[in-house]
Amino acid sequence: MVQPIYSFTAGGPWNKILDANSTATSFATWATIANMVATATGIIDVSINNRKKPNMVEALFFGTDAADETFNVRIGAFDPSSDETHHIGRQIAVLAATLGAAIGLASSLVDENQFFADTLDFTSGDPLARIISPGDDTVASFMFDARGAEFIRFEFDRVLAAECNGLWRYVS
């Protein structure tokens, strides 16, 4: 598949997806219509200063245990409905992640006991999303068009990893 070519001028700061790493062993049942609350686990309000919503979001993933452990990530985008209470969701992607040998740094968003994913495999979702998956112990990334969504939801299924999480940022 031909990957689209993107040109970006700026990226926002990296933010941790979850405050505490996930130990979930499966995804929740997908709800197309939901009442999204930014304080819920894994739900991120991607609006910038509550005004502008970015088109592109980039994510990196990491976990604990050891290199070559695996986990899955499901990403969805949610837009407000006209009733001003509910949001309509669409799945962006389901990814299979494999941890590499690259680790974080003490006292940072990703510490020295956490391994970055170096391989991301696209299981399902938007075929225009971009995966950079070197598989050589350098950090893999996933970039997708949020299409102006108000909320992005990240869910994790740890499979073999002990814990998993990620970082996100907007890109313009």
| Residue 2 within a domain | no
Confidence of residue 11 (pLDDT cuts 50, 70, 90): confident
Residue 1 falls within a domain, yes or no?
no
pLDDT in the model for residue 1: 47
Q: What is the pLDDT of residue 149?
A: 87
Tell me whether residue 85 is in a domain.
yes
- pLDDT of 21 reads 96
Q: What is the pLDDT of residues 17-32, one digit of tens each?
A: 999 999 999 998 888 8
Residue 12 lies in a domain: no
- Predicted structure pTM score: 0.89
**CA 86 – CA 20 distance, rounded (Å):** 27
- Domains of the chain: total: 1
pLDDT of residue 16: 95
Cα–Cα nearest to 66, from 165, 160, 167: 160
Instruction: Look at residue 35 in the predicted model and tell me its pLDDT.
Output: 80
Residue 34 domain-assigned?
A: no
Q: Which single residue is written with the structure tokens 């907007």?
A: 170
Question: Is 83 inside any structural domain?
Answer: yes
Q: What is the pLDDT, as a whole number, of residue 154?
A: 96
Per-residue pLDDT tens over the stretch 78-129: 988 888 788 899 999 999 999 999 999 999 999 999 999 999 999 999 888 9
Rounded to an integer, the average pLDDT of 29-38 is: 80
| Tokens at 132, concatenated | 């950079």
Q: Is residue 167 part of a domain?
A: yes
Residue 94 lies in domain: 40-171
In-domain check, residue 17: no
Rg (CA), the chain: 15
Other C-beta atoms within 10 Å of 11: how many? 13
Task: Give alpha helix (H) positions in 30-100.
Answer: none
Which of 156 and 11 is assigned the larger pLDDT?
A: 156
Give yes or no for residue 50 having a pLDDT over 80: no
Q: Tell me the pLDDT of the chain averaged across its residues.
A: 88
Residue 161 burial by CB count (10 A; 0-12/13-18/19+): exposed, middle or buried? buried
Residue 163 has pLDDT above 90, yes or no: yes
pLDDT recorded at residue 38 = 65
